[in-house]
Chain A
Amino acid sequence: MKLQHGFHAMHEAWPDAQWQALFNRAWPAYQRWFLRNGIGQQPSYLQSLRQLRAYMPELLPVYERLCELAGGGDTAARFLSMYCPPPYYVSCSQAVWTKTTPFLIRNYDYHPALLEGTVIHSSWLGKPVVASGDCLWGVLDGMNSAGLVVSLAFGGRKLVGIGFGIPLILRYILETCRDVADAVAVLRHIPSHMAYNITLLDGLGESCTVLVAPDRQIQVNPLAIATNHQQSIEWTQHALATATLERESFLIHSLASAEQTAEQFIHSFLQPPLYSTQYARGFGTLYTALYRPDKGSMTLLWPHRTWQQYLAAANPAPEG
């Protein structure tokens, strides 16, 4: 399965034609998803704007620019606010390697038809950022010029509350934070509408995993690994289907193993139990992302291919 065909990189310091092209291509599908379950209690544009203004005021100029590029419509603006979006469940495994020069590596596991496949290089608020995109300006994983790396994994709980979609919170972290302490403060402050496990690494080598949920205070776990549960299993079916405990156990043992090298650890993300082929069920591994803050590099990995990006420059598209 040549999944990497769908990937492409964009490089726009300020959102412009490239982002607009992305919007035009992806919006019909996002709109269907956004409106899929009716509009019931879905927030209005004004409610969404009010929340963005309260929690992420620095992003407002970017948001307004994106709305303008999206045609100035109400529905797109509400979607782009990512305030109380419809629920979405992903899988993912992620960990920070600290035995030698630290790096963060993660598998993004999801349904291949629902992958945006964009790597966005930007400098929207003056800080260069490279990230895997989701929901058109959100972040699945990424790094900024201060060396701060973030990555998300679904927290394995069905609960949906009041808050923002996590990809936008990660975007906000990359645009405004310098280190792990900054990022933890943001995660403490901004409500997430669902449960996620956020793994962080910064340029000084600090790392942790933060468990966020709409119904609880955040929990900061010094062990910088995460799969798809928070402390205990709450959604057994999802846990079994995605083998979250098995993957977590594998990561813990790998990192604890004295013989394990960095190369072996990276390679393990391309093999079971971390690497999943359950694409039809929505849990297949779509890419592996490796972030090295010391080099300012992001590498996307597949079993037989890699795609190198640097903060400073975009590499248009993976070959093959």
Chain B
Amino acid sequence: MTTTLRNISEIRRYFHRNETPIYFISATNFNLLGINEWVRNFHYINYIDCFDGRHPAVFVPSETPHREFESIEDINNYLLQHKEVIDYIKKRGGDPKTVFLMFDEETEQLCQELGLEVWFPKAALRQRVDNKIETVRIGNRAGVPSIPNTLSEVYSYAHLCELADDAGLGRDLVLQTAYGDSGHTTFFIANEQEFNRYADQIIGEGEVKIMKRLKVRGSAIEACTTKNGTIVGPLMTELVGFKELTPYKGGWCGNEIFANAFTQAIRDQARDYTFKFGEALREEGYRGYFELDFLIDQDSGQLYLGELNPRVTGASSMTNHAAFAHADAPLFLFHLLEMSDIPFELDIAELNERWAHPDNVDSWSQLVMKHTKDSVGYITQAPESGIWHMDEQGQVTYSRFDYHRRAVETEQEAFYLRISGIGDYHYEGADLGILITRGRLMDDNFELNERARAWIKGIEQYYQAIPLETAPTQPAYNLDAGAFKIL
């Protein structure tokens, strides 16, 4: 009979002695970096080797011909059909489990065929709750308000005006379709001309979320819903749309975590909403890790539900490395615990209270760097992953190899995780890498600070590329290397 785990110490010990092989299959291991050091037998199966073969828990199969990837799901489905991956999982034996950043029904079928149990709620359920319209409804049921809105199909601009008037939203509107991310499916519409610009992406797309346009600031919070209750991480700021980092207006490009990122009242409200939302999600049949975006109205200070990501995200690397995570256990461990079906009894309220304490939240930031210019090139030189140093003049140089971001000692150091390397192509929107450092990278006005700009410039100078026409001939299947979003 399995012993019930009753405290953090027992949970930590349980995972230190874990014998079940668990795999994080994804383009890179960025989102769950470091979890392998908490969980024995946790390995990463990735498409891109950010560490040039030097990370002991990362397995990257030789690249073989494949169709052009259009999503992270495509990459995962490619990996799951790759002989070296299949042989690797088979050789390691056991009763393997797997977690993903993104997966779909095909992924589930492939996993079933390979005897891999997916440790996430079913793709169909994730898809349902990921729908922005559904998120609003779950929030409403849970008492978590969204920005004043109405949900409806839209047939014309006149129809939109009618809907907005009926809901008292005014004419300065923000529309969102059911799925989409990083600003791709959010439309700002104040007149017919603006509507016409996006009409083909709105009309015929089913129910649309029609919101009053407010001046808002984005934030993110991660949580894990378990049978004992929802465990809530800290509220983080979001870096959005900085032209130095992303070509996408409204596109996510990083996070900051620090104790007083928001007022106590907002932090408390966000934690309360997240707990309630997590409980409502569990009633929908969902279990485990999720992330919520909250929007803070800068005029009224009111907090609104933005969107739900029913999965680990790009912000997970922040949540799982904060001081509270090291003091207790990373939030993701509770996801594994929930999925493992090991009985546990935890005082979630006490844990949540501890994690909310400012002493448990140290200050970190991450920048997701994309190629922002409208140019294509063949990369001939790229910065290594590891610890980089910035001197007093703002000059950035490589210090040493490491795959631990906690190895960053001061704000003069940063951990850089390289995504695009030598032999890859850079193009507008291509992920170059992720830079993580201690301290803040935005100022109090939520603009990039000088240090952030120096780091971006400092790392970018180590990328060299030649024009496509002078690049060595490559097999066609290499052209899309790195052609996906990290999220």
Instruction: Report A's interface with B, CB cutoff 8 A.
Output: 35, 38-42, 44-47, 49-50, 67, 72-75, 77-78
| B476 and chain A: residue at smallest CB distance | A38
Known A45-B86, A74-B61, A74-B84; contact A50-B113, beta-carbon cutoff 8 A: yes
Asked if residues B66 and A45 are in contact (CB atoms below 8 Å), the reply is no
Query: Would you list which residues of chain B between 150 and 178 have a CB under 8 Å from chain A?
Result: none
How many angstroms from the CA of A91 to the CA of B477 in the assembled complex? 33
Asked if residues B82 and A45 are in contact (CB atoms below 8 Å), the reply is yes
SS class, residues of chain B in contact with chain A: helix
Asked if residues B81 and A44 are in contact (CB atoms below 8 Å), the reply is yes
- The digit string for B53-84, where 1 denotes a CB below 8 A from any CB of A, is 00000000110111100000000001011111
How many angstroms from the CA of A72 to the CA of B91 in the assembled complex? 13
Residue B472 interfacial (CB < 8 Å)? no
- The digit string for B250-273, where 1 denotes a CB below 8 A from any CB of A, is 000000000000000000000000
Residue B87 interfacial (CB < 8 Å)? yes
Residue B110 interfacial (CB < 8 Å)? yes
Residue B475 interfacial (CB < 8 Å)? yes
Asked if residues A39 and B65 are in contact (CB atoms below 8 Å), the reply is yes
Asked if residues B113 and A46 are in contact (CB atoms below 8 Å), the reply is yes
B-chain residues with CB within 8 Å of residue A38 when the two chains form the complex: 65, 476-477
B-chain residues with CB within 8 Å of residue A73 when the two chains form the complex: 62, 64, 83-84
Asked if residues B78 and A74 are in contact (CB atoms below 8 Å), the reply is no
A-chain residues with CB within 8 Å of residue B67 when the two chains form the complex: 39-41
New A-B contacts (13) at CB < 8 Å, excluding given A46-B113, A73-B64: A38-B477, A44-B82, A45-B83, A46-B80, A46-B86, A46-B110, A50-B113, A72-B84, A74-B61, A74-B62, A74-B82, A75-B64, A78-B83
From A44, A72, A73, name the one whose CB has the most chain B CB atoms within 10 angstroms: A44
A-chain residues with CB within 8 Å of residue B62 when the two chains form the complex: 73-74
B-chain residues with CB within 8 Å of residue A41 when the two chains form the complex: 67
B392 to chain A, nearest CB (A): 49
Could you show 18 A-B contacts with beta carbons less than 8 Å apart?
A35-B475, A39-B67, A41-B67, A42-B65, A44-B81, A45-B81, A45-B83, A46-B81, A46-B82, A46-B86, A46-B110, A46-B114, A72-B87, A74-B62, A74-B82, A75-B64, A75-B65, A78-B83
How many angstroms from the CA of A44 to the CA of B81 in the assembled complex? 6
- The digit string for B456-484, where 1 denotes a CB below 8 A from any CB of A, is 00000000000000000001110000000
A66 to chain B, nearest CB (A): 12
Asked if residues A67 and B81 are in contact (CB atoms below 8 Å), the reply is no
How many angstroms from the CA of A38 to the CA of B475 in the assembled complex? 9
| B61 and chain A: residue at smallest CB distance | A74
B-chain residues with CB within 8 Å of residue A50 when the two chains form the complex: 113
Q: Which of B81, B87, B477 contacts A39 (CB 8 A)?
A: B477
Query: Would you list which residues of chain B between 21 and 49 have a CB under 8 Å from chain A?
Result: none
| B62 and chain A: residue at smallest CB distance | A73
How many angstroms from the CA of A173 to the CA of B414 in the assembled complex? 62
How many angstroms from the CA of A50 to the CA of B113 in the assembled complex? 9
How many angstroms from the CA of A49 to the CA of B67 in the assembled complex? 19
| A42 and chain B: residue at smallest CB distance | B65
| B66 and chain A: residue at smallest CB distance | A39
From B65, B87, B475, name the one whose CB has the most chain A CB atoms within 10 angstroms: B65
